[in-house]
Chain A
Amino acid sequence: MLRVPSRIGKRTHVRGCRRQAPAYHLILEGILILWIIRLLFSKTYKLQERSDLTVKEELIEEWQPEPLVPPVPKDHPALNYNIVSGPPSHKIVVNGKECINFASFNFLGLLDNPRVKAAALASLKKYGVGTCGPRGFYGTFDVHLDLEDRLAKFMKTEEAIIYSYGFATIASAIPAYSKRGDIVFVDRAACFAIQKGLQASRSDIKLFKHNDMADLERLLKEQEIEDQKNPRKARVTRRFIVVEGLYMNTGTICPLPELVKLKYKYKARIFLEESLSFGVLGEHGRGVTEHYGINIDDIDLISANMENALASIGGFCCGRSFVIDHQRLSGQGYCFSASLPPLLAAAAIEALNIMEENPGIFAVLKEKCRQIHKALQGISGLKVVGESFSPAFHLQLEESTGSREQDVRLLQEIVDQCMNKNIALTQARYLEKEEKCLPPPSIRVVVTVEQTEEELVRAASTIKEVAQVVLL
């Protein structure tokens, strides 16, 4: 309208004859205006889910609320707990009776170590007790950075990240990387923390039989066929394999060399949970990777809690910087929980110092494990489940009575009688309704470096006698 030169001819043309809009166009415009009016007057509504509405109503009708307090048997373990006075170190005082501790995961005996306690006390005097804040909100102290640095150097990875609660470590690490639409291949015997992490991740979970690489390969092959059918979907899905170094529920070790081969063949990432193998396996205690001699860069993420061998609280993840840095914003347990109390971080640093100074303790621990493993073979009625070098293994009933409660009661009888003979044992406890693959009831025996040979022999013979009496 401003450009006079080119418009002169057109303007006269326009003024001359104004073309009438064709009929179809007027109709279309009318429809569009009606559409606008319809839009303006339509109400907002939420899209209904595709499922049938009546089915939902039927379900609502037949739902009966569960009682707020369900009926609980009188001998529920949570109602009859043992009271421990003093630290749960080598000699533990349970219900007033001093027993030898075969139940606490104090593998390297660092729980009562005077050096660790002194470091914690010094840190307590310097920093106080708690941090009162998450890492991003004035909760990062130099001890935290120091511990992360030391752990990264110890494990020979680029970076490490500390969590303030061992359970939350792997339960935050998995959902930080695996989201909806991603696929996770996980062992059936994975511990509860891993199961909760997988549940939080909302990913597709594919369980493979415990330590069965053939089953895992079958699942991976099936996934590969699916991927070839739909390559565009495959390009946006991430695949993970989650395994534990030493399984808490079975005491067995994962076949890591085969897993690494499968990883490179089927392009999946490995998350290794090393809570029981950190500070136990390997020449210097670096875990399963050192045990097998695998390059640590082959494992994408190693997660462990410091509540077992390191005798502290909390957990850590270590790996390449590129991987670990992501958890600093995406790890829910890191960003939204208060950080580790500095005295526990200082205790962990001192524990690491001790581990680095005498690497001979790992061989000692291995020898003790082998000894008691051999001594406990051949008990009538109980079988030993776990590797010979695993410091935490299980004693399961050779033949189950048929009902889990009966089995639990029998094992509890064995545990109680062992307690009377000053051997403190425990049963492996599970949230029976929540576990995906509930392991059979068992007694979990833990070996530590502080137990002497006589004590191991005495424990083995005590368990043998008691088992003979109880199981007949």
Chain B
Amino acid sequence: MGGNTADYVPPIGKGQTERSHFLETSGVVAGALLITRQGSEAGRMNVGVAHSEVNPNTRVMNSRGIWLAYIILVGLLHVVLLSIPFFSIPVVWTLTNVIHNLAMYIFLHMVKGTPFETPDQGKARLLTHWEQMDYGLQFTSSRKFLSISPIVLYLLASFYTKYDVAHFLINTASLLSVLLPKLPQFHGVRVFGINKY
């Protein structure tokens, strides 16, 4: 789940007594400082971590910082590919495009269900992550973001490959493979029964 992580909660009693002892022996008026410290300690407890979301997969892509993380990850992939000495620029861009689209296809349109048990008796067992996003609501902002990002990558790749025919064919095929499953008409569709169960 996105950005929220449960912080480690230090044993309050021990920390408090140690700190108060130190402050008292050092002669500092510990009152106000202690209260603020206690406040921040309470703020770091497991507050706001429990959720009543039936299927957390549905709002992973809406969580804080995940879009930025995604962009950074694609950037990282690109930089890693760039650092391989024997790939030329067009090859690097095509590879970035293809690997990004392949990974997107596998994680969003191939892997089904949830890695955890949900309290809805397995409603999403046969649904891919794309179909689970926002409980099937179409054209939400994260769906738009994830639809637009392969297109942007494709436009960049086609520019940097200088519209070469071979690269064009590979990039376009890859883009289609990742754009078509995102159409609302393809919600729940399993072509030729592949990946149905």
A interface, CB within 8 angstroms of B: 1, 3, 6, 10, 14, 19, 21-22, 25, 28-29, 32-33, 35-36, 39-40, 42-47, 175, 179-181, 200-203, 230, 232-233, 235-236, 329-330
Chain A contact residues, majority secondary structure: helix
Q: CB distance B196 to A233 under 8 Å? A: yes
Residues of B within 8 A of A46 (CB): 136-138
B101 sits at the interface (CB 8 A): no
CA distance A47 to B162 in the complex (A): 40
Q: CB distance A236 to B147 under 8 Å? A: no
B192 to chain A, nearest CB (A): 12
A226 to chain B, nearest CB (A): 13
Residue of B nearest to A201 (CB): B121
B41 to chain A, nearest CB (A): 22
Residues of A within 8 A of B137 (CB): 44-46
CA distance A260 to B111 in the complex (A): 36
Q: CB distance B155 to A32 under 8 Å? A: yes
Residues of B within 8 A of A179 (CB): 121-122, 125
Q: CB distance B88 to A10 under 8 Å? A: yes
CA distance A44 to B134 in the complex (A): 10
Going nearest first, the 9 A-B pairs with the smallest beta carbon separation are A179-B122, A202-B121, A233-B197, A42-B139, A180-B122, A21-B163, A232-B197, A179-B121, A44-B139
A251 to chain B, nearest CB (A): 33
Residue of B nearest to A24 (CB): B168
Q: CB distance B139 to A47 under 8 Å? A: no
Q: CB distance A43 to B151 under 8 Å? A: no
Q: Which of B126, B163, B187 has the most CB of A within 10 A?
A: B163
Residues of B within 8 A of A235 (CB): 197
Residues of A within 8 A of B130 (CB): none
A365 to chain B, nearest CB (A): 40
B63 sits at the interface (CB 8 A): no
CA distance A19 to B159 in the complex (A): 11
CA distance A419 to B30 in the complex (A): 77
Decide: A181 near B151, CB < 8 A? Known: A45-B138, A232-B197: no
CA distance A6 to B87 in the complex (A): 10
Type the 1/0 row for B105-126, where 1 means its CB is closer than 8 Å to any CB of A: 0000000000001000111011
Residue of A nearest to B154 (CB): A32
Q: CB distance A180 to B125 under 8 Å? A: yes
Residue of B nearest to A202 (CB): B121
Q: Which of B85, B148, B197 has the most CB of A within 10 A?
A: B197
Decide: A19 near B163, CB < 8 A? Known: A44-B139, A45-B138, A235-B197: yes
CA distance A330 to B122 in the complex (A): 12
Q: CB distance A47 to B122 under 8 Å? A: no
Pairs A–B under 8 Å by Cβ, sample size 12? A6-B85, A21-B163, A25-B158, A25-B163, A32-B151, A32-B155, A33-B155, A45-B138, A45-B139, A46-B137, A232-B197, A235-B197
CA distance A311 to B168 in the complex (A): 77
Residues of A within 8 A of B38 (CB): none
Type the 1/0 row for B24-65, where 1 means its CB is closer than 8 Å to any CB of A: 000000000000000000000000000000000000000000
Residue of B nearest to A175 (CB): B121
CA distance A258 to B53 in the complex (A): 44
Q: CB distance A44 to B140 under 8 Å? A: yes
Residue of A nearest to B182 (CB): A39
B16 sits at the interface (CB 8 A): no
Q: CB distance B162 to A39 under 8 Å? A: no
CA distance A201 to B196 in the complex (A): 22
B184 sits at the interface (CB 8 A): yes
CA distance A463 to B82 in the complex (A): 94
CA distance A179 to B197 in the complex (A): 14
B73 sits at the interface (CB 8 A): no
Which of the residues B85, B139, B196 comes within 8 Å of A43, measured between beta carbons? B139
CA distance A401 to B167 in the complex (A): 84
B135 to chain A, nearest CB (A): 8
Q: CB distance B147 to A39 under 8 Å? A: yes
Q: CB distance B122 to A36 under 8 Å? A: no
Q: Which of B122, B158, B162, B184 has the most CB of A within 10 A?
A: B122
CA distance A201 to B120 in the complex (A): 9
Residue of A nearest to B165 (CB): A22
B20 sits at the interface (CB 8 A): no
Q: CB distance B88 to A232 under 8 Å? A: no
Which of the residues B85, B121, B139, B140 comes within 8 Å of A3, measured between beta carbons? B85
Residue of A nearest to B134 (CB): A44
B101 to chain A, nearest CB (A): 14
B144 sits at the interface (CB 8 A): yes
Q: CB distance B117 to A330 under 8 Å? A: yes
Residues of B within 8 A of A43 (CB): 139
Q: CB distance A39 to B158 under 8 Å? A: no
Q: CB distance B88 to A36 under 8 Å? A: no
